[in-house]
Chains A and B, each alone.
Chain A
Amino acid sequence: MIHQVETPIVELHDITVSYHKKPVLWDIDLTLPSGSIIGIIGPNGAGKSTLLKAMMGLVELSSGYVRIFDQDLDQVRSRVSYVPQKESVDWDFPASVLDVVLMGRYGKLGLFTRPRKADKEVAMECLRQVDMENYAGRQISQLSGGQQQRVFLARALAQEADLYFMDEPFAGVDAATEKAIINLLKSMSKQGKTVVVVHHDLQSALEYFDWAVLLNLRLIASGPVNQVLTPELLQETYGGKLTLLAAVGDLLTKKEFPSRE
């Protein structure tokens, strides 16, 4: 069940990625629609983060190519934004919240230009969108997990991009932050932005995403979320871990979802 899109925002053609000669992504042929919230879903070690990095040219491709906005990646870097896993950085780094958000503006500044007043205003506005404006001067070492994630989102917003890649933005955050993030994603998508999210919680997937990509080294499925999150395809993706899946499958067929509040 792999839906190809007419005018894709992201196009992967025959992508294979290997680490130390062992393939971690195998022959991925994928197109993603613009203006939607797209979830990349699969078990641990399925290559979800690697797929995201491959789309941004952060890992070496053994074969294939990527096109974004129907152009070469290096020509459209300024229109693409990235939210890495928050565990990927050292939060004891001597920097303030505003310093980190301003990093989102660096791509628009030259080598010699310092962030100007206008950049700071954009950064503050982005902090406001994630309810963190009161923390601008705070040291990042003092933030909770949810606040760290909000700072990373604000930094991505400050890039003013059209396409956002987010690696596990819902991992290790409190319920309020999760709700704030999903509201933000929905409002971004209303403005025509495209968001690609690595996600591992099946229960919320149907509710959060318009489009789902099921991955387990190979591409299992890609398409509108209600056509892709079926018990058969999920079973194919998750293989042996069926006890959990049977329960989720039941939920999906009955379209009964537990409230997340």
Chain B
Amino acid sequence: MEAFWIILAGTLVAIPCGLLGCYLILRNMAMVGDAISHAVLPGIVIAFFVSGSREPISMLLGAGVLGLLTTFLIEFFHSKARLQTDAAIGVTFTWLFALGVILISVFAGQVDLDQDCVLYGEIAYVPIDLWITGSGIIMGPRVIYIMGIVFLLVLSFIVIGQKQLFLTTFDPSFAAATGVNVALWHYLLMGAVSFTTVGAFESVGAILVVAFLIVPPATAYLLTEDLNKMMLITTLLGLAISFIGYHLAVWLDGSIAGAMSVVAGVLFGLVFIYKEITSRPALVN
């Protein structure tokens, strides 16, 4: 049962991250996911400090606000200060993340949060972190509910916004000319990345979130030239990574999030080598 909950939690993080990641890498914004997943930290700490508990709604709000602030700052530095996008990303998220680290260390005595947990997460605790109702009924692991909701929200966002996301990603100026609000869809996507990141944060940690955001979509991108197939392959990869990663961690007796990230990287490497071999022109004797 323990294995089932952990793999399910991993998959519920992997799929929404991967679906959003497809759009991020096609917008040349993969590292924005990285930036958001780090920069939400002060938002989480402040929300935690204000509400005094790890109640998910306030943490989602705190992180969501910081996530949008991050994307806004990146856009702002890029367009107003004419900084390159990657430099704007680097400037924005490092100081926000550092601010979060300082907040945690200052309030360490009063706050049940630590840097290790935020960075590496502890997916192994998923099965014992249960949601128990006021009347004492055990509803199962809390993370499954949070990520289940995030998963459904992201899925409906991608399905409803399919046309607009496709159009604004491929050709934003054409989209704007036809009256689509390009900025709105940009911030909706970034908002979705922020919420997914923070939902996944405490269970799997920032590093696995970034791995799930970028590596499965990048692997799928190598394998197909059709956006829908790319999202399908990303989903299947998320499942495979969670499953193999968990068993690798059990076998090694090591970090589960670490093992999942490594599996993601290895699968990417294998696909890359496969593509290199198959696309090489046949040698003429």
Interaction A to B: yes
Q: Which residues of A contact B (CB under 8 A)?
A: 20, 53, 56, 58, 74, 77-78, 80-82, 84, 88-90, 93-96, 99-100, 103, 106-107, 109, 111-112, 114, 139, 141, 155, 159, 165
Q: For A89, A106, A112, which residue has the most chain B Cβ atoms within 10 angstroms?
A: A106
**Contacts between the two chains (Cβ within 8 Å), count:** 74
Cα(A78)–Cα(B82), bound, Å? 33
A107–B224 CA distance with the chains assembled, in angstroms: 28
Is B171 touching A89 in the complex (CB atoms < 8 A)? yes
Q: Are A159 and B164 in contact (CB under 8 A)?
A: no
List residues of chain B with CB within 8 A of the CB of A139: 225-226
16 inter-chain pairs at a CB distance below 8 angstroms, sorted by A residue, are A58-B176, A74-B179, A89-B171, A90-B170, A94-B26, A94-B226, A95-B166, A95-B227, A99-B227, A100-B170, A103-B166, A103-B167, A103-B174, A111-B161, A139-B226, A159-B178
Q: When chains A and B are docked, how far (Å) is the Cα of A5 from the Cα of B28?
A: 44
**How far is it, in angstroms, between the C-alpha of A245 and the C-alpha of B234 when the chains are bound?**
56
Residues of A within 8 A of B204 (CB): none
Q: Which B residues are in CB contact (< 8 Å) with A141?
A: 225
Which of A53, A82, A100, A114 lies in contact with B178, CB distance below 8 A? Answer: A82
Instruction: Please name all residues of chain A whose beta carbon is closer than 8 Å to the beta carbon of B280 when the two chains form the complex.
Output: none
In the complex, the answer to whether B177 meets A58 with C-beta atoms within 8 Å is yes
Min CB distance A61 to B, Å, is: 15
In the complex, are the beta carbons of B179 and A82 less than 8 A apart? no
> What's the Cα separation between A89 and B26 when bound, in Å?
11
**Least Cβ distance of A86 to chain B in Å?**
10
| Most central of B26, B174, B221, B229 by chain A CB within 10 Å | B174
When C-beta atoms are compared, the residue in chain A nearest to B161 turns out to be A111
A111/B179 contact (C-beta < 8 A), A93-B170, A94-B225, A94-B226 known = no
In the assembled complex, the Cα of A94 lies from the Cα of B22 at a distance in Å of: 10
Residues of B in contact with A (beta carbons under 8 Å apart):
26, 28, 82, 160-161, 163-164, 166-167, 169-171, 173-174, 176-180, 221, 224-227, 229-230
Taking a contact as CB atoms under 8 Å apart, the answer to whether A56 and B225 are in contact is no
- Interface pair B179/A103, CB less than 8 Å apart: no
Whether the Cβ atoms of A107 and B179 lie closer than 8 Å is: yes
Please tell me if the beta carbons of B173 and A88 are within 8 angstroms of each other in the complex: yes
Give A152 Cβ to nearest chain B Cβ, in Å: 9
CA–CA, A20 and B81, complex, Å: 10
Residues of B within 8 A of A106 (CB): 163-164, 167, 178, 180
**B280, chain A: closest CB distance, angstroms:** 18
> Quick check: B26 and A20 within 8 Å, CB to CB?
no
Asked, given contacts A20-B82, A111-B160, A159-B178, whether A95 binds B173 with beta carbons under 8 Å apart, the answer is: no
Given A77-B179, A94-B26, A111-B160, are A82 and B173 neighbors across the interface (CB < 8 Å)? yes
Given A20-B82, A89-B170, A103-B170, residue A96 in contact with residue B179 (CB < 8 A):
no
B224 touches A82 (CB 8 A): no
B271 to chain A, nearest CB (A): 15
B278 nearest CB across to chain A (Å):
17
Residues of A within 8 A of B28 (CB): 90
Task: Report how far A84 CA is from B28 CA in the complex, Å.
Answer: 19
In addition to A90-B170, A94-B221, 18 A-B residue pairs with Cβ atoms within 8 Å of each other are A56-B177, A80-B177, A82-B177, A84-B171, A84-B173, A90-B26, A90-B28, A93-B169, A99-B166, A99-B227, A103-B170, A103-B171, A106-B163, A106-B167, A106-B178, A139-B226, A155-B174, A165-B177
